[in-house]
Amino acid sequence: MQNPTEELYEWHRNHAWMPFTQMQLLGNPPIIESGQGVYLRTRDGREIIDAIGSWWVTIHGHSHPRINAAIKDQLDRLEHVIYAGMTHEPALRLGHRLSALTNHHLPRCFFSDNGSTAVEIGLKMAFQYFLNTGRPEKSEFVCLSGGYHGDTIGAMSVGARSVFHEAFAPLLFDAHQVPAPRVEFRNQTDPDLVSSAIAAPIAKLAELFETRGERICALILEPLIQGASAGFNIYPAEYLRQVRALCDRHNVLLIADEVFTGAGRTGHFFATGRAGVQPDILALSKGLSGGYLPFAVTLATEEIYESFLGTDRRRTLFHGHSMTGSPLGCAAAHASLDVFEEEAVLDRVRELERSHAEHLARLQAGPLGSHIKEVRYMGSVGVVELALEGDYTSEFGWRVHEAALSQGVLLRPLGPSVYLTPPFVIEPGELARAYEVMESSVLAVLGARVPA
């Protein structure tokens, strides 16, 4: 028996507290009853294109039969078991498969359950690696301006002090922040323009390493695409390659936060793979389970892992969560990797990159063109940055969200950046519809002269 909708909304008003949401301004959100492919279906029978893959997690579409079946199958065998001093086949096999995806450069897999935690673990690994190897003074972190690594205390500490985190600034530890590369997107295919644009940020980093390298344990960054805080700053691989070389020179570990960029987003399984750069530690979540379950992994080199070994139990990595190594999460991740192999998913993402380029060029040539500051795209990500001031709290983005939702498309602009990160299975007609709705919603909101 179903509860009447009014009763559900009463419970929503009385009990719900949602992340990143000003609840007083929310109203009654759509109640989603099912999902199929790129579509979400509401209780009142409407269909919504999930053009952001439900916060960037849904990569193979909702209710993929292969992943559904794998989770059900695993559920009938073993729902959970402590993953410390005991193990299970799905975790063992997954470790092997993930290591292979890094060409066994990162053979050690530490499982957890969300992206922020995967980052926290990476920070702790880097910090303790130098403790364990007799260099305790190497304890400081470097991060990039505009970076976002999650909402736990450590992850916030190495992130930009944006509107998301400024309230918590007194709680956070200090990290050195260096300027992120900002390279006009249309110049990124020209090696000369790229090298002159990244020269200044690289020089800043080199200077920091020269003066402070002896005290720095790790640098963390989002490879190729800075997402949530930077509004999708897409930057050239050459920057990453030069960062890698500087880290090598100064014995600084490179932590790649691939929570957003990993699992195929850029048309390669890892963005670091697309860039041809090997990090020392890599955090992965979101698409790891196909977006099905809270699941994450932090991968590390054998050298880092070995620094934790010995007969002294104090060298252990003292971090863990009750649900670590979830067999259901592992089963979903296996099925997701099977889908990558069986459905040539990375080819599809590369095709999507070409489609984004075409749609974005069309938007630039149309009525929205005069409002656009820049368009950017990579893999499954397409971004329109409007010539507007503002951040996540600005009315503009929220009005666009509402306008698009009323036309059956889920968008969540980040300040002036309106973007699509659809499930990779989106069909050409569905992508065209998402762009049409993006364009008409932005034009409607701009026409209504909404304050920034």
149 lines the binding site for ligand PLP (CB under 6 A): yes
C-alpha dihedral sign at 442, 445, 449, 450: negative
Note whether 213 and 252 are within 8 A (CB).
yes
Q: Kindly write down the DSSP assignment for every residue of 221-277, as one continuous string.
A: E-SSEE-TTTT-EE--HHHHHHHHHHHHHTT-EEEEE-TTTTTTTTSSSSHHHHHT-
Among 58, 112, 114, 266, binds ligand PLP (CB under 6 A): 114
Judged by beta carbon, residue 140 or residue 257, the one nearer ligand PLP is: 257
d(CA 180, CA 266): 19
Which amino acid belongs to residue 424? F
Find the binding residues for ligand PLP in span 117-136 (CB under 6 A).
119
Q: In what order do the strands lie in the sheet with 39-42?
A: 32-36, 39-42, 47-49
d(CA 344, CA 324): 30
Judged by beta carbon, residue 238 or residue 257, the one nearer ligand PLP is: 257
Judged by beta carbon, residue 119 or residue 360, the one nearer ligand PLP is: 119
d(CA 85, CA 107): 19
d(CA 340, CA 345): 5
116 lines the binding site for ligand PLP (CB under 6 A): yes
Judged by beta carbon, residue 213 or residue 267, the one nearer ligand PLP is: 267
Return the biggest CA–CA distance within the chain.
68
| Region near ligand PLP per CB under 6 A, out of 61-69, 111-119, 181-189, 391-399 | 111-119
Q: How far is the CB of 132 from ligand PLP (least distance, A)?
A: 25
Q: How far is the CB of 110 from ligand PLP (least distance, A)?
A: 15
Between 254 and 293, how does the x/- string for binding to ligand PLP read (CB under 6 A)?
A: ---x-xx------------------------x--------
| Region near ligand PLP per CB under 6 A, out of 129-137, 145-153, 171-179, 387-395 | 145-153
Alpha helices in 78-190 (DSSP H): 89-101, 115-132, 153-157
Q: How far is the CB of 261 from ligand PLP (least distance, A)?
A: 7
Among 111, 141, 148, 419, binds ligand PLP (CB under 6 A): 148
Judged by beta carbon, residue 102 or residue 114, the one nearer ligand PLP is: 114
| Region near ligand PLP per CB under 6 A, out of 252-260, 317-325, 351-359, 429-437 | 252-260
d(CA 66, CA 117): 27
Looking at beta carbons, which residue is closest to ligand PLP? Answer: 115
141 lines the binding site for ligand PLP (CB under 6 A): no
Find the binding residues for ligand PLP in span 187-246 (CB under 6 A).
222, 227-228
150 lines the binding site for ligand PLP (CB under 6 A): yes
How many CB atoms are located within 10 Å of the residue 452 CB? 13
Size of the site for ligand PLP (CB under 6 A): 14
Please identify which residue in the block is written with the tokens 């969300």: 114
Structure tokens at 330: 């592992």
d(CA 330, CA 111): 9
Residues that bind ligand PLP (CB under 6 A): 114-116, 119, 148-150, 222, 227-228, 257, 259-260, 285
